[in-house]
């Protein structure tokens, strides 16, 4: 049974109730697939959530989350007693994500969208790659050479968009419609597999629009303060920007 990816519809939900669909005791560790989850599985440059699963008579920490096919697997570790246990298929479970970590990732992920938007508007170059951890991230751009004063200029442009407190809207649109949208074409909507009939769109209204399955905050004002920590060359036509996200 495909796992219902509840985080796609509500990034702010922290706890949920569902049922175990499968248990795997293989080499890769003890894990459970759930019918529904709020745990984000590693993907799209965003690392997985961690947290806790509880059920009648037991509990375990969720230490890794991965999507395999259309199911989300949650790796379980014991609570310090060394003995990991897993509830059998069909068991009702209650999940709680580590909200502090998730919210930091939501702010960081959104900061990267803001950075993409301002760099496109100012220098007209697309993103070539990126990655994030809570409150720190890097993103690569097709820049060559790095413009004079680039880091400081990018930082002040990002600060202005955060101060503008732009709303961030999530919607689901048919693929046939998404591939005609200029902003989505620019952010590589064509990389979404053709088998996906409906595209999730994350729109920082007036700034940046992407086909995206990650978790983001509701408005740019929630991001906090973004510092450009470093810019480095990763070869011809590829410059890396490192950012830190701080409380405002
Ligand atoms: Zn995103």
Cα(16)–Cα(227) distance, integer angstroms = 35
Sign of the CA dihedral with 66 first, then 68, 74, and 77 last: negative
Q: How, if at all, do strands 4-5 and 36-37 pair? A: parallel
Report mean pLDDT in 10-residue bins for the chain, 248 residues.
96 98 76 97 96 94 93 82 76 98 98 97 93 97 91 97 98 93 86 88 96 96 97 91 96
Question: What is the whole-number distance in angstroms between the Cα of residue 215 and the centre of ligand 1?
Answer: 7
Cβ-contact 208, 117 below 8 angstroms: yes
CA of 216 to the centre of ligand 1 (A): 6
Task: Report the distance separating Cα 27 and Cα 247, nearest Å.
Answer: 41
Its pTM surpasses 0.75: yes
| Rounded CA separation 189/25 (Å) | 37
Which residues neighbour ligand 1 (ion) by CB within 5 Å? 109, 212, 214
Using CB atoms within 10 A of its CB, is residue 91 exposed (0-12), middle (13-18) or buried (19+)? middle
């Amino acid at each position: 049974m495909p796992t219902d990816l509840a985080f796609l519809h509500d990034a702010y939900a922290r706890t949920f109730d569902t049922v175990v669909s499968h248990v795997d005791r293989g080499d890769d560790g003890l894990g459970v697939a759930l019918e529904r989850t709020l745990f984000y599985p590693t993907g799209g440059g965003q690392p997985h959530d961690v947290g806790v699963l509880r059920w009648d008579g037991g509990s375990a920490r969720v230490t890794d989350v991965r999507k395999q096919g259309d199911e989300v697997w949650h790796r379980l570790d014991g609570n310090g007693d060394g003995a990991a246990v897993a509830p059998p298929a069909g068991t009702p479970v209650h999940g709680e994500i580590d909200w502090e970590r998730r919210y930091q990732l939501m702010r960081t992920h959104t900061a990267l969208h803001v950075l993409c938007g301002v760099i496109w508007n100012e220098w007209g170059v697309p993103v070539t790659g990126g990655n994030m951890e809570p409150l720190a991230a890097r993103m690569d751009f097709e820049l060559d050479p790095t413009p004079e004063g680039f880091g400081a200029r990018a930082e002040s442009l990002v600060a202005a968009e955060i101060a503008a407190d732009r709303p961030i809207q999530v919607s689901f649109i048919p693929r046939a419609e998404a591939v005609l949208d200029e902003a989505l074409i620019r952010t590589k909507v064509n990389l979404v597999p053709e088998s996906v009939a409906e595209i999730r769109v994350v729109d920082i209204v007036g700034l940046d629009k992407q086909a995206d399955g990650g978790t983001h905050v509701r408005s740019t004002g929630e991001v906090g303060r973004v510092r450009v920590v470093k810019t480095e060359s990763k070869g011809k036509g590829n410059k890396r920007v490192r950012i830190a996200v701080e409380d405002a």
